[in-house]
Structure 1
Amino acid sequence: MMNKDNLPTNRQLLQLINKYNVPGPRYTSYPTAVQFQSNFNQSLLTSEFRYRSNNPAFYSLYIHIPFCFSLCWYCGCTKLITKDQSRGDTYLDYLEKEMELVSEHIHPESSLRQIHFGGGTPTFLTPDQLLRLGELIRKYFRLHSTCEFSVEIDPRKVTEEHVIALTQIGCNRASLGVQDTNPEVQKTIHRIQPFEQTKKVTEDLRKHGIQHINFDLIYGLPKQTLQTFQKTLDDTLSLNPDRLAIYSYAHIPKVMPAQKLLKVEDFPSTEEKFTMLLTAIEYLQENGYEYIGMDHFAKEGDELSKALHEGSLQRNFQGYSTHADLDMIALGMSGISQSGRLYYQNEKDLNDYYSSLDEGILPIKKAYSLTDEDKIRRQIVMQIMCRGEINYDEFNSKTGINLQKNYPEELEQLSTFEGDGFLIKTPNGFHITETGRLFLRNIAMVFDEHLQSARRKASYSKTV
């Protein structure tokens, strides 16, 4: 458990923040998406699809629904703002075309162990549209009997009929976007969401059998104070969620133009923002939640907590998740699929996405084939992000790679982190301390050989 007794003083922490709060990847993948290339070799896909066709496997399915009714000024998601829900019917038509093409390359004995609807706003779809989407999934894919089926929900636009439809298609986990419960903060970020709306949707979900509830919060928003953020935590815990994701607000207006509408003078200071994170970690642990890593928390005994202890925790493009062994198939505009060999991303422009499918071809815009070196470094980065430790003998046994021999410079760089109390080296590896868990991204960056070129090509959020 992280508590004040095993953390540096506030002054020491602030010094560490100032030293390490630099732009860096979130490592939802390695290599990161900035490495994906539009001029990829099509044979990469041919080889990947041939492998899937010939080998039965379990998969995770992600479906991106890009539409939102209104623009939240902080948001960096791939989205389209519209109030015309008939666009959902057209989008489902094209999702079916994509499903048909994808299913042709899936072994008939393969099945889905996870399904996730993300966005945008998946519940932009009407209840009837959600029912149709559920039917399409079962038409083109097999579902495992223990499939985890989750959906992101905007409580502002969800009726009880939506909840019933989600239950009918097999949804068993819901992630509710809350962000902050303070009215002034909500007004500032252009997302008015009275807490009663969140409470009502939560009650409806449980009433109709969706018992697993996650909440998403953001710290570092304009007009937030430590006091208002503590009230948001209190409000959230009163609804007894199973998991919480408490994301750091990333202010990158050059990449996310809507953020220009927010006033810089309204943001909390770096010290105030970091104090919110420390408060959340301590408060949630006191209330029975385990700190999974970076920005995720789960009740002790939750599947995410079990995955942490069993070593099956993973990072994917939705954050921390269970089932590290699953390849992901992503459908819809901008969706990113991943396997042990390949990443590929769909068109991010809706018209281009539609045009490709009209031509009878998958709407893949970018891809990246992992080299042998990438695969090794990915394991290192993910062990840091998901396990917080590396045992040299265990790593050598699994991969045939001697870390001490192959990565002496990187391991030497860890000495700086050891000096700052982030990790402890042993003769046979290293493990990250409670303080170091606040700086996982910085530690993982040491092993990212693409990082220097990636920094020149892309803007990252700050690591703290």
Structure 2
Amino acid sequence: MPLPDPEVLRQMDRAGPRYTSYPTADRFVEAFTAVDYRRALWARAQGVFAGQGALPLSVYLHIPFCESVCYYCACNKIVTRHHDRAGPYLDALAKEVALHVEQLGHGQPVSQLHFGGGTPTFLSDDELARLLELLRASFKLLPNAEIAVEIDPRTVDPERLRRLAALGFNRISLGVQDVDPQVQRAVHRVQPEQTVRALLDEARSLGMVSTNVDLIYGLPLQSVASVQRTVASVSQMRPDRIALYGYAHLPQRFKPQRRIDDAQLPSGQTRLQMLATAIEGFTAAGYQYVGMDHFALPSDSLAVAKRQGLLHRNFQGYSTRPECDLIGLGVSAIGSVGASYSQNAKTLPEYYDALAQGQFPVGRGLILSRDDVLRRAVIMSLMCQGRIGFEEISQANLIDAQAYFASELKRLEPLQALGLVIVDDEAVEVTDIGWYLVRAIAMVFDRYAQADRLRAQFSRIV
């Protein structure tokens, strides 16, 4: 894929959301409380009981603990080597699950179960087994359910991976970031390349449904050449999916990032060259470029969904499953039920205190307006299909899309002049060059992101 012109990059060098949701999490408000969340769950339960055929649930569990800090990390985590802290946390999760069962009823079908963090494999095998037993007793995991776990390769060897598979995990995601030892030392995450390779080989032998490797470009001491070496190495390892994220350097928000030397970070132009190198390398190795930050082998369900126009995007990134209610469990976890978003308390004391009182530990959230729902559909269509079809949007929402978004279409004109989009009477189409800057295109339809005061809260697009 050709790179955008340097002048285009200069004009687009701004901060913007990654759009794993719309409205984005910075719009959540504390006025949304546990009462609002309970009401959203009640509405879902009423719909199911009335036979309206609600889709199966997706469940996300946040395990915040890590044994050591990675300097680039922007996740909600608790760095500790005291594994006895896991016990009280599992007790709290059991209370939170019980509150959901009380509200939704026993045996709600679940098609996706995702353990994220932090480091989920901070938990012992017995603790993970306890969690899975709790979830299976409370919900109904469907026969084809995706049961995924994020893995720090430093905490798992092939023997432990076999035990995880025996527990029921059928998808794994390995945090690799970069295979270059110099870069690994700069971000305080040293792990031998052969460790990752051994885990992927074992996952294949176990018949796991899908394997994913997380990579980051834009890290300190990275170069275009080092990224090329990482791409070649990971391509040879042959994971089913690859997530390639641009490093978001926000040291004012995330304390560990203050340990990174700004002078060692690559420029915006170099970052784009890294991305172009990765896209070229992975596609040459047989991977399909799914979207902004994901690649998949042609046989993987993510690539199939892309070809069929069935791709979706949620808080975990691109997904093959249709938009469905998401239950977020654990400290800081985000959920989406009906036309609402919710986020749990961000600190353990607040999280524990709410559950001790028999309350959902909701810290903030948002009830979506009709305009929010409409714009969410438009933005997700851009992020997933690279296209907004006016007729489809009009029919689905009983509006005249071109009239409704007249001002936004006007603001797209400079982007069309830069070659990022093509706009005609039928649709807005993202060009090959436009995919590099798709977040900037989506921002045109973001009613909230037009205020300059919000932009410092997001990573830079370039």
Query: Which TM-score band (shorter chain)?
Result: over 0.9
Once the two structures are superposed, the pairs formed by residues 76-91 of structure 1 within 5 Å of their partners are 76-91=74-89
Three-state SS of the structure 2 residue aligned to 1:86 is helix
Q: CA offsets, 1:319-369, max 9 Å, x none? A: 111213211111000000013410000000011111111111110110100
Establish whether residue 362 from structure 1 lines up as the match of residue 354 from structure 2. no
Counterpart in the other structure of 1:22: 14
d(CA) in 2 for partners of 1:92, 1:101:
14
Counterpart in the other structure of 1:236: 234
Establish whether residue 337 from structure 1 lines up as the match of residue 329 from structure 2. no
d(CA) in 2 for partners of 1:344, 1:308:
28
Establish whether residue 37 from structure 1 lines up as the match of residue 29 from structure 2. yes
- More deviation, 370-379/320-329: 320-329
d(CA) in 1 for partners of 2:33, 2:99:
19
Three-state SS of the structure 2 residue aligned to 1:176 is strand
Q: 1:75 aligns with which of 73, 80, 92?
A: 73
Q: 1:430 aligns with which of 428, 431, 434?
A: 428
d(CA) in 1 for partners of 2:452, 2:40:
26
Question: Which letter does structure 1 place at the counterpart of 2:14?
Answer: V
d(CA) in 1 for partners of 2:27, 2:292:
23
TM-score between the two structures when normalised by the length of structure 1: 0.95
Indicate conservation of the 8 Å contact 1:130/1:165, yes or no: no
Once the two structures are superposed, the pairs formed by residues 215-226 of structure 1 within 5 Å of their partners are 215-226=213-224
Counterpart in the other structure of 2:376: 378
C-alpha deviation, 1:72, in angstroms: 0.5
Q: 2:258 aligns with which of 254, 257, 260?
A: 260
Establish whether residue 54 from structure 1 lines up as the match of residue 49 from structure 2. no
Counterpart in the other structure of 1:313: 311
- More deviation, 231-240/154-163: 154-163
Q: CA offsets, 1:11-53, max 9 Å, x none? A: x522211110201111111001111111226553243121222
Counterpart in the other structure of 1:245: 243
d(CA) in 1 for partners of 2:255, 2:215:
21
C-alpha deviation, 1:458, in angstroms: 5.5
- More deviation, 120-129/98-107: 98-107
- More deviation, 146-155/422-431: 422-431
Once the two structures are superposed, the pairs formed by residues 5-404 of structure 1 within 5 Å of their partners are 7=2, 13-40=5-32, 43-56=35-48, 57=54, 58-108=56-106, 110-404=108-402
Residues 1:179 and 1:359: Cα distance change in structure 2 (over 3 Å): same
Question: Which letter does structure 2 place at the counterpart of 1:461?
Answer: S
Indicate conservation of the 8 Å contact 2:30/2:364, yes or no: yes
Q: CA offsets, 1:189-219, max 9 Å, x none? A: 1111111211222233233332511000000
Indicate conservation of the 8 Å contact 2:15/2:455, yes or no: no
5+ residue gaps, structure 1, are none
Q: CA offsets, 1:62-120, max 9 Å, x none? A: 00000001000111110000111121122111111111111122244630111111000
Counterpart in the other structure of 1:439: 437
Question: Which letter does structure 2 place at the counterpart of 1:329?
Answer: I
C-alpha deviation, 1:161, in angstroms: 4.7
- More deviation, 160-169/24-33: 160-169
Three-state SS of the structure 2 residue aligned to 1:55 is helix
Residues 1:215 and 1:145: Cα distance change in structure 2 (over 3 Å): same
C-alpha deviation, 1:175, in angstroms: 0.5
Indicate conservation of the 8 Å contact 1:153/1:174, yes or no: yes
d(CA) in 1 for partners of 2:122, 2:66:
6
C-alpha deviation, 1:453, in angstroms: 4.5
Residues 1:425 and 1:85: Cα distance change in structure 2 (over 3 Å): same
Question: Which letter does structure 1 place at the counterpart of 2:104?
Answer: I
Three-state SS of the structure 1 residue aligned to 2:381 is helix
d(CA) in 2 for partners of 1:319, 1:301:
19
Residues 1:210 and 1:42: Cα distance change in structure 2 (over 3 Å): closer
The number of residue pairs the alignment matches comes to 456
C-alpha deviation, 1:408, in angstroms: 0.7
Residues 1:87 and 1:207: Cα distance change in structure 2 (over 3 Å): farther
Counterpart in the other structure of 2:51: none
Indicate conservation of the 8 Å contact 1:224/1:268, yes or no: yes
Three-state SS of the structure 2 residue aligned to 1:305 is helix
Taking only the aligned residue pairs, the percentage that are identical comes to 40
Three-state SS of the structure 1 residue aligned to 2:61 is strand
Indicate conservation of the 8 Å contact 1:68/1:82, yes or no: yes
Indicate conservation of the 8 Å contact 1:39/1:366, yes or no: yes
- More deviation, 69-78/444-453: 444-453
- More deviation, 119-128/303-312: 303-312
Question: Which letter does structure 2 place at the counterpart of 1:45?
Answer: Y
Three-state SS of the structure 2 residue aligned to 1:105 is helix
C-alpha deviation, 1:284, in angstroms: 1.0
RMSD (Å) for aligned C-alpha atoms: 1.6
Indicate conservation of the 8 Å contact 1:53/1:106, yes or no: yes
Three-state SS of the structure 1 residue aligned to 2:110 is strand
d(CA) in 1 for partners of 2:11, 2:93:
46
Indicate conservation of the 8 Å contact 1:34/1:458, yes or no: no
Residues 1:375 and 1:318: Cα distance change in structure 2 (over 3 Å): same
Indicate conservation of the 8 Å contact 1:62/1:328, yes or no: yes
5+ residue gaps, structure 2, are 49-53
d(CA) in 1 for partners of 2:163, 2:80:
22
C-alpha deviation, 1:147, in angstroms: 0.5
Three-state SS of the structure 2 residue aligned to 1:152 is strand
d(CA) in 2 for partners of 1:269, 1:54:
53
Q: CA offsets, 1:250-271, max 9 Å, x none? A: 1110011111111111112222
C-alpha deviation, 1:157, in angstroms: 1.0
TM-score between the two structures when normalised by the length of structure 2: 0.95
Question: Which letter does structure 1 place at the counterpart of 2:128?
Answer: L
Residues 1:111 and 1:454: Cα distance change in structure 2 (over 3 Å): farther
